[in-house]
């Protein structure tokens, strides 16, 4: 067994500390700590199910080594919003019927969150490109696009009102 190192990350605002060997991915480490809302689909960056925000930017947690993120902030789907404090994207995913089996949904909403942060008014093509790293086998993506557009509209309206 390789040498272990203590890594501290802030997950959804709370500090989490764990000892991991050099080869342990962020996906494995966080799921082991109980953050099972991060889904594992391929362990090699092909599917995007494990996407999280790392200091606000989207990464595949299966391609991120835990040692490399010491001191970083990680946001999972649960950190994006919760019942009663839902993110507009989550409300839109419910309203548009964008989740079927739901396994890609956490990563998909994470990717959409990052997309809207950089591009509050994305075109359909922008959305298609922005979600290009996240596979979905159930929905045909159409309602996911609708949900992102719906949320973007709500966020812009809220921004203008503020």
Partner 1 sequence: MNQVDTSPNAIANVNLRQIGRNKPRNDAPTKVYGQAIYAGDYSMEGMLFAKVLHSDRACANITRVDVSAARALAGVHSVLTADDLSACNAVMTDLPGQTGGGTKDTKQPILAAERVRFQGEPIALVAAETYELAQKALDLIIVDYEDTEGVYDPFDSQKPGAPIVYGDDNIVSTRKIRKGDIEKGFAEADYILENTFSSQYQEQAFLEPEAAVAWVDEHEILNIRSSTQVIEHYRAVADALGIPHNRVHLQAPYLGGGFGGKEVMTIEVWLALLAMDTKRPVKLIQTRENSFLSHGPRHPFTFTHKTGVRKDGKITAMQITITSDAGAYAKLSPYVLLYAVVGSTGPYRVDNLWVDAISAATNNLPTCAFRGFGTMQANTACEAQMEELAKLIGMDSLELRRKNFIQPGDPNTTGQIIRSSVWSDQCATQALAALGQQPNNSDHLVYGHGLACYQQSYGRIRWMKDTSESWVGLEMDGTVIVRCAVTDVGAGQMSALAQIAAEVLGVPMNEVTVYFGDGHLNPLAGTSTASRALYMSGKATELAAVAVRDNLLECMAKHFDVSPGELDLADSMIFVLDNPERCMSIKDMVKVCATEGVHRHNLSIFRAPQSEGLDPETGQGDVFPDFTYGAHAAQVSVDTDTGEVTVIKSVGAHDVGQAINLRAVEGQIEGSALMGQGFALSEELILEKGVLKNGSLSEYLIPTSEDVPEIQSIVLESRSGLGPFGSKGIGEPVFAPVAASIVNAVTDAIGTRIHDLPLTPEKVLAAINENRASRGVVSKSLQQKITP
Q: State the nearest-atom distance from the C-beta of 72 to partner 1, in Å.
A: 19
The whole-angstrom separation of Cα 133 and Cα 41 is: 12
Specify the residue, 17 or 129, whose C-beta has the smaller distance to partner 1.
Answer: 129
The whole-angstrom separation of Cα 136 and Cα 103 is: 8
Structure tokens at 18: 């764990």
Binding mask 102-141 for partner 1 (x = CB under 8 A): xxxxx--x-----------------xxx-xx-xxxxxxxx
Question: Which residue is it, tokens 């979905």?
Answer: 136
Q: Which of 114, 12, 6, 2 is nearest to 69 (CA)?
A: 6
Specify the residue, 34 or 160, whose C-beta has the smaller distance to partner 1.
Answer: 34
Structure tokens at 34: 């109980």
Whether the CB-CB separation of 150 and 95 falls below 8 Å is answered with yes
Specify the residue, 67 or 161, whose C-beta has the smaller distance to partner 1.
Answer: 67
Q: Which of 34, 39, 79, 27 is nearest to 55 (CA)?
A: 79
Binding mask 68-97 for partner 1 (x = CB under 8 A): --------xxx--xxx--x---x--xxx-x
- Total residues at the site for partner 1 (CB under 8 A)? 52
Whether the CB-CB separation of 151 and 89 falls below 8 Å is answered with yes
Binding mask 25-64 for partner 1 (x = CB under 8 A): ---------x-xx-xxxxxx-xx-x---------------
Q: Which of 129, 7, 10, 159 is nearest to 73 (CA)?
A: 10
Q: State the nearest-atom distance from the C-beta of 53 to partner 1, in Å.
A: 13
- Residues at the interface with partner 1 (CB under 8 A): 1, 34, 36-37, 39-44, 46-47, 49, 76-78, 81-83, 86, 90, 93-95, 97-106, 109, 127-129, 131-132, 134-145
């Amino acid at each position: 067994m390789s040498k272990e190192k203590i890594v501290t990350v802030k997950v959804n605002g709370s500090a989490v500390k764990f000892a991991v060997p050099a080869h342990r991915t962020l996906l494995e480490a966080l799921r082991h700590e109980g953050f099972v809302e991060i889904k594992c689909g391929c362990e090699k960056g092909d599917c995007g199910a494990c996407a999280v925000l790392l200091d606000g930017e989207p990464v595949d947690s299966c391609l991120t080594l835990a040692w490399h993120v010491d001191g970083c902030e990680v946001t999972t789907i649960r950190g994006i919003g919760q019942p009663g404090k839902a993110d507009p994207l989550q409300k839109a995913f419910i309203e548009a019927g964008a989740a079927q089996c739901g396994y890609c949904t956490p990563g998909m909403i994470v990717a959409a969150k990052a997309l809207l942060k950089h591009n509050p008014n994305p075109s359909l093509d922008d959305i298609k490109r922005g979600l290009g790293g996240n596979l979905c086998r159930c929905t045909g993506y159409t309602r996911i696009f609708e949900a992102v557009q719906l949320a973007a509209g709500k966020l812009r309206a809220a921004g203008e009102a503020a």
